[in-house]
Structure 1
């Protein structure tokens, strides 16, 4: 599977600096509401390899106000690594979720929307045909974006949560079919993307690379080790280009993996975005949780309230990817973002004023 990697230009449409805000609230946008006197509604749809997500928001003086949201696990990339195409069942699940999104767009009178599809549609031989069917059946025009654009949008959506500091920073997004790693320079009014890599391993593709629900702890540990090796090999071209370690590395992650592991860290009985988005967790704690989960049987992971049945089979692959990231960028703390591509899309739409 091919990797895509090259330096990128600065992130566009950066949020302006502003006063402090409660953890979990969106970062401020430049310009306030004067440019949108009628308070238009904007929407972003992110159809990934594992999830379909929608966010509808209106601009406000200190950022934007979310008026509606939707998220559903659709596993669009299920079986893609073996068959090279999207399965009929996966397509049906995705279209059902996108139909819900289309209904929300109509009911909320959305003025302008951008809808993107990522790695599964980039890789699938029937990706373009799927995009055409989605438009016929839902009216949603999906744009299959490049890995570079995916990385840019993720950075734009979550970089405000980076810890303050002068050291180099890495932002990563563990998806269903790929993982984006971005080295950013934060000296200046907006973060500048110095280098990036899109590795062809996400929680779905990596899970499917190993047999499911192995019986013994020894077999599970061995499978986990093989996962980490695959990811390490994919990350190697990026790792050799990273700056020398200075002891002040900053790291921020946006994905279901990091938010799930942060929930386990806090021992939450159910997911709580307000407690997770913007949380800073010791990297050693995240490694410990990752290794503990990797040794558990599927039923044991399903019994954990922060994981449940929908993520229990995929979380181990996410743990392997996270540990591989910590191996090449050993920051002492990990920032957690429950925001990313959708927020990046909204910022771009709003700052252009529609």
Structure 2
């Protein structure tokens, strides 16, 4: 496996599970002294997107097939005694109306929360995984990944993406849409290509302006296209796809005439039925972006997920950059945000054991404190609601959709009426944990109201189940006393007890 630059530390066993719309992928590696060593890599065609009915519901059969795959993955993960695991869901889980039903069962199979990621976050992670092949080369590169439900296109320089896009076109959904009868004709191929060109139209000009020195493809469709072409033309470089080769593959598929008859040297049988749709999408990409050739690389989403997971213990955590960018964009008082965050973490540390809080909870609390005033960049009135909207609806590199939902809810909950927590399994943490973090954040905001870190009032915080007692070690100003009394009222409205003790 390609070597990656990682922090020097004791060896760690990491696992990534990619719940793709066509295939589920598992990658297990050992990270040691700056390198990844592959221990296990397996994929299973599940075709989650094919199980979506006309109402966007995942049918029972595909869910059973998917859960059987995850049970097998769970056994492998246990056998390798993995230290850290991250599971991400992509287009099919973003789209399915009943995705929560599947997610609940899938989390039980793996013993791990599933993070559904946005299309652009998927694109970022794909680029991060692919760019390991050229991380020391800063030339502009185009990366394409044709999945089962969506296609990601990225232009980047070195390891830094410059443009990220996820388009609603994939080999599984296009097979159902354009090849539902099974017929492969000039008309069905042209219809699929035209639909893909329409999806590409909104990004073509911008991507061409950015430009690239090489075009790279990742994942199954592009890998299959390259393998099939090399079987026809052995002189081609491994992984290479040419414009002329795509035209030839298209012609051969039309000659075969039906999905049941798709069989080519180099093409795995379990990909045959979605191959024509994949070739139609790839042909449209070549046409829209005026490509002459593309090179397949093995790095993909699962590799990016592992790199992202490992970076979270370092100063290179992209989430820090994302929050910093948002602070600057909305002119957040960073010094005050850091003061609130430090106060919130001091409170957290006192209740970490009695409330059984974990590191993920601590990180989320700190993140919420750093951006709790982001809504002031919109308006002062109801700024907590403005901030919540921004966090829920912005592209936030490094954050999954459940991460964003939890963060947005905490920012909304940091003042005035405590809202109802998000439904279970939709946010990154359980509702009960989110409510406890909100109470800590609210207290930190009140304690820091003077916006002066010199005005520090020593205190201790204790919990008896969900009853909190905040004890001050010296007299406090009347204004702070009034603020705390008001906070007691807000929490009491939600049936929560907050006791304030002063000398």
TM range (shorter): 0.7 to 0.9
The ranges of structure 1 where at least 4 consecutive aligned residues each deviate by more than 4 angstroms after the TM superposition are 162-167
Is residue 2:224 matched to residue 1:260? Answer: yes
Q: State the partner residue of 1:320.
A: 280
Does residue 207 of structure 1 match 2:161? no
SS in 2 for 1:114: strand
SS in 2 for 1:243: helix
Once the two structures are overlaid, the 10-residue window that deviates more, 99-108 or 159-168, is 159-168
1:64 counterpart = 2:29: no
The equivalent of 1:49 in structure 2 is 21
In the alignment, does 2:56 pair up with 1:84?
A: yes
Distance in 1 (CA, whole Å) between partners of 2:254 and 2:217 is 20
Shift of 1:133: 1.7
Q: Of the candidates 192, 195, 202, which is equivalent to residue 230 of structure 1?
A: 195
- 1:286 matched residue in structure 2: 246
Does residue 123 of the first structure (1) align with residue 91 of the second (2)?
Answer: no
Greater relative contact order (Cα < 8 A, sep 6+)? 1
TM-score normalised to the size of structure 1? 0.80
Distance 1:126 1:266 in 2: 41
Deviation per CA, 1:226-260, whole angstroms, max 9, x where unpaired? 000001001110112223497x6421111211111
Larger Rg: 2
Shift of 1:340: 0.6
Report the Cα distance in structure 1 between the residues aligned to 2:230 and 2:59, rounded to whole angstroms.
37
- 1:152 is aligned to 2:124: yes
How has the CA–CA distance of structure 1 residues 167 and 327 changed in structure 2, closer, same or farther, with 3 Å as cutoff? farther
CA distance in 2, matches of 1:333, 1:287: 12
Q: In structure 1, what is the Cα distance between the partners aligned to 2:313 and 2:135?
A: 29
Structure 2 CA distance for aligned equivalents of residues 98 and 194 of structure 1 = 34
Secondary structure at 1:344's aligned position in 2? helix
TM-score, length of structure 2 as denominator length: 0.57
Shift of the 174–104 alpha-carbon distance from structure 1 to 2, 3 Å rule, reads same
Deviations 1:256-303 (Å, cap 9, x if unpaired)? 1111111112219xxxxxx95xx344343234324423442334423x
Picking from 263, 270, 278, the partner of 1:310 is: 270
Residue 9 (structure 2) pairs with residue 35 (structure 1)? yes
Distance (Å, rounded) in 2 between the aligned partners of 1:30 and 1:165 = 18
CA deviation map 1:112-156 (0-9, x unaligned): 010001000100000122111212344232111111110011000
The structure with the largest helix share of the pair is 2
Residues 29 and 63, structure 1, Cα contact 8 Å, conserved in 2: yes
Distance 2:104 2:291 in 1: 43
Cα 1:164–1:57 shift into 2, 3 Å: closer
Mapped to 2, the partners of 1:43 and 1:165 lie a distance apart of: 27
SS in 2 for 1:313: helix
Q: Which ranges of structure 2 fall in alignment gaps of 5 or more residues?
A: 315-503
From 286, 297, 301, the counterpart of 2:262: 301
The offset of 1:341, in angstroms, is: 0.8
Aligned to 2:161: 193
Instruction: Name whichever of 127-136 and 107-116 sits farther off.
Output: 127-136
Measure the CA separation in 2 of the matches of 1:245 and 1:121: 31
- Number of residue pairs matched? 309
Distance in 1, matches of 2:297 and 2:251, equals 22
Could you report, residue by residue, the CA deviation over 1:293-330 in whole angstroms, capped at 9, with x for unpaired residues? Answer: 3442334423x242243111100010011011111222
Q: Secondary structure at the match of 1:314?
A: helix
